Homo-oligomer: A and B are copies of this chain.
Amino acid sequence: MDTLGRQARAAAAHMARASAASKSRALRALARLLRENAAALQEANARDLARASELSAPMRDRLKLTPAIIETAAQGCEQLAAMPDVIGEITGLRQQPSGIRVGQMRVPLGVFGMIYESRPNVTIEAAALSIKSGNACILRGGSEALASCQALAALCAQALEESGLPAHGVQLVPTADRAAVGALIAMPQYVDVIIPRGGRSLIERISAEAKVPVIKHLDGVCHTYVDEPCDEDLALKVADNAKTQKYSPCNATETLLVARGVAARFLPRMAAIYAAKGVLMRCDAESLALLEAWRQSLPPGQPQPQLAAAQEEDWRAEYLAPIIAIKVVAGLDEAMAHINHYGSHHTDAILTSSHAHAQRFLREVDSASCMVNASTRFADGFEYGLGAEIGISTDKFHARGPVGIEGLTSLKWVVLGEGHIRQ
């Protein structure tokens, strides 16, 4: 690991001063190499799959490197190549009273370490973002994906070399040994930041043991709050999408809050939609009474809603499943208090027609993404226009929410004088 670290640090200095053109050239070369070597990549992947017979079906699915996944990865590299290069950009250059001109230049962080599980194509996502942002990276994929990741990392090194950039700009930890992770997160002399992707326990362990900053993503307990006043048709459509468009992502809504003034009209219509999709509703007493009464009035043949009484732990639950917690609140203040108390500060939305309520929600909800009249499912680096996403941060320090290229950079000060001295 010490050798990897030293090589990464040396490569980072080259990457930091690489021209925009050479970085784009490397990304296009990587896209081409991925396509040219699709068959060889699938062979390597087949070796991983053969060793992974004891894995669950979803885990095996995540491990697969299909032609479609390879093509998507290649296209991602090309998209990054076409994006503007932010490294070296100087902002805010202004003359100060002393006469010096002071601004800030965007520069790479240096070396990042990324630790991820299963999906081998994360290797390419991380490598491409690292190249574009002028950093060097050390990647540690899941041990079950080692052959696939090695084949992908070899293409990264080849693309860098072809483009006149250091092959060590992207390195993969070449062993499944778990001790390598412990070493990677404790080399502040070589690694500037660690980005883990995986389950909560992995991320908590890494955060606790790391000797360098960690960009970490913990829970996604996202809320959608249906306000009074609101456009109820809009609210139905958005609250449906926020929960049911896909259940597993961290930005899916887990708790629906409904203002008392609209609950009696809104909740039965909402529950009918969730019932038709088989979503279990875990309700507070008020919404449960309301929905039970509605259920008993349903004509025969209608989809029966699945209703249950919510417990305290439901307000903190990240279901990632067809389950939603539902609560009636007095209005905006109670909704925001609930979100700030029980939420995970990830992504929360208000559905409202009140300008004043929208402004207060945006300002007072302490979450990485605050939304008005939009589905929480939009919280994503691509949807936000970042071009790519290395991860999502639930911290406030450095980067918050979806992390793209800028999260892998820092701003240094530049001072331009003409012989100025301090008086």
Contact = CB atoms under 8 A, between A and B. Distances in A.
B192 A370 contact: no
Interface stretch (A51-59, A97-105, A270-278, A289-297): A97-105
B419 A110 contact: no
B378 A420 contact: yes
B213 A422 contact: no
B400 A410 contact: yes
A134 to B, nearest CB: 10
Interface in A385-415: 385, 396-398, 400-402, 410-415
Interface string A193-206: 10000000000000
Contacts of A396: 109-110, 192, 410
A96 interface: yes
A109, A231, A237, A419 — most chain B CB neighbours (10 Å): A419
B412 A369 contact: yes
Contacts of A375: 417, 420-422
Given A237-B421, A397-B410, A416 B374 contact: yes
Nearest to A374: B417
Nearest to A94: B385
A367 interface: yes
Q: How many copies does the complex hold?
A: 2
A369 B16 contact: no
Contacts of A136: none
A224 to B, nearest CB: 11
A306 to B, nearest CB: 23
A345 B144 CA distance: 40
A421 B375 CA distance: 5
A407 to B, nearest CB: 10
A373 interface: yes
Contacts of A241: 421-422
A366 B13 CA distance: 9
A89 to B, nearest CB: 11
B105 A363 contact: yes
A354 interface: no
A234 interface: yes
A398 B396 CA distance: 9
A100 B374 contact: yes
B231 A419 contact: yes
Contact of A416 (B367, B373, B411): B373
A240 to B, nearest CB: 8
Nearest to A213: B397
A400 B413 contact: yes
Interface of A: 13, 16-17, 88, 94, 96, 98, 100, 102, 105, 107, 109-110, 192-193, 213, 231, 234, 237-238, 240-242, 245, 340, 349, 362-364, 366-375, 377-379, 383-385, 396-398, 400-402, 410-422
